[in-house]
Amino acid sequence: MLDPSIMQPQMLGDPAFDWCGVAAVARGAPLVLPPVARARIVNARAIVDQLVLLGERVYGINTGLGALCETVLPPEQLVRLSSNTLQSHACGIGEPLGVDLTRAVLCAALQNFALGRSGISPAVFDQLLAWLNRGLTPVVPSRGSVGYLSHMAHMALPLIGLGEAWVEGARLPAAAALACVDLEPVALGAKDGLALVNGTPCMTGLMCMALDTAWRLARWADVLGAMSFEALGGQLAAFGEDVLVSKPHPGLMASGDNLRRLLAGGDWLAQRQGLRTQDALSLRCMPQIHGATRDQLMHIARQVDIELSSSTDNPQVFGTPDAYTVVSQGHPHGQSMAMAADLLAIAAAELASVSERRIDRLVNPLVSGLPPFLVQASGVNSGLMIAQYTAASMVAENKVLAHPMVVDNFVTSALQEDHLSLGTPAALKALQVLERVETVLAIEYVVAAQALSFLPGEQLAAGTGRALRFLRRVVPPYVEDRVVATDIAAATALLRDPRGLEDIEEAIGTLR
């Protein structure tokens, strides 16, 4: 996690607060609640308190939950209902979410509360905000939600001294973790339990992190595709601005612009122009393929930003304590985020699919014009033969993982909840796809760099030369066989290092 002291504070409830802000908080940026947002929280809580005082029947405030929504509870049981909600809904299984993912979910929840429709207690909100800013992260099992309930319940358990939390890398019982950051359990009030487990912050926070990863990999896909293109002596005419403008999809135009700048100034590549009529689709169509992914990511980003600016729990309160309305509605349904997650999985998977095709061309002497499997003494050495196998395996796994989750359905809570989005598992599945995309791109990085090592001594293009030097810091050229997995892991780490793209952009300008 980056040092929060060098990261810009993010403002809850700000119209400019978007998926990038959530990702920044997930990496360690501080989170601030402006006075106007605090006033909204206090006002909404006053409405809830008024409802409890008057004894009006309102779902989740003085009734049971789900199919128990017609069961009215006496005032003395409302606090217990909140505590029981967290415990009964904490049914998660599996390995915990990463700290960054959990912080993103918590950040999205705080944004939802800051919009002033939930009615959560200010003391509960303040504790959650303190967790983020003091480095306490709940331990949240990664599996078990059809929408969000189990994940959010585990997220909130430390509020009442239950569950576990991470503090400075140590996994501790909740009470010990709270003590480490000078906090104590808080008393939940009416509706607090429901507010904590309700709404779409889980899938929205996860989607913010998926977008952050996907955009990073989309930029790297252009960089690594350019390296492969140069090594194979591709024909630059297909990337001309005057050519691409005849099919002006925004993503296509952005990718084409990146490729032109990445490949500018390459002497050897310049000498290869005109030697072929056209290249294979995996080379010639990079702007069209990479660009289509970019267009989907732009659409997904709009969906996620709308969700972040929305109140998504149920019920919601409106007005003031003297003139209020409480409405049970369907905003917690995660259909938009589930569809966005499924689309992201498909769009990202294609980056790996076309990357694997370029890897295959690089190692295949029948089409590359390079030594077989990119090693001089082939035969006794297998070179990078099996690296392409690994890439193919990742692409095959993505074909299964990219199957839509949202089109499935189940019935829960005794027919009360009879259409489920599966948004959280869809977002987690998209993150699995992105892991495999990253692996395939790391393999292309290693393979394309090895291919470039066989070119004559003429100058490489500006952007690809920078990318090659960045890799050569940790992965030397292959002279004879060695353990390739070590180099794939090293290349993967470089794809996650922001200094790589920054170094390339220093030479060619900002990658779009």
Q: Catalytic site residues?
A: 59
Cβ atoms of 246 and 252 within 8 Å: the answer is no
315 prior amide bond cis, ω within 30? yes
Residues paired with 32 in a beta bridge: 11
Residue with tokens 């480095």: 135
Q: What's the rounded Cα separation, in Å, for the pair 289 and 271?
A: 26
The number of helix segments (H) and strand segments (E) in the chain equals: 21, 9
Token digits of residue 92: 């998660």
Q: What's the rounded Cα separation, in Å, for the pair 137 and 103?
A: 7
The number of C-alpha atoms within 13 Å of 44 and in the hemisphere containing its C-beta is: 30
Number of Cβ atoms within 10 Å of the Cβ of 295 = 16
Residue 216 is which amino acid?
R
Torsion, Cα 228 229 233 239, to 10 degrees, reads 180
Q: For strand 136-138 and strand 164-167, is the pairing parallel, antiparallel, or unpaired?
A: antiparallel
Residues paired with 11 in a beta bridge: 32
* Residue 378 main-chain phi, psi, to 5 deg: -70, 150
Residue with tokens 């415990």: 87
Cβ atoms of 373 and 316 within 8 Å: the answer is no
Altogether, the residues listed in the chain come to a count of 512
Q: What's the rounded Cα separation, in Å, for the pair 182 and 175?
A: 10
Give helix 462-472 / helix 250-262 axis angle, nearest 10°. 70
Rg of the Cα atoms in the chain: 26
Closest CA to 132 of 15, 1, 19: 1
Run of H or E residues at 318? strand 316-320
* Residue 417 main-chain phi, psi, to 5 deg: -110, 90
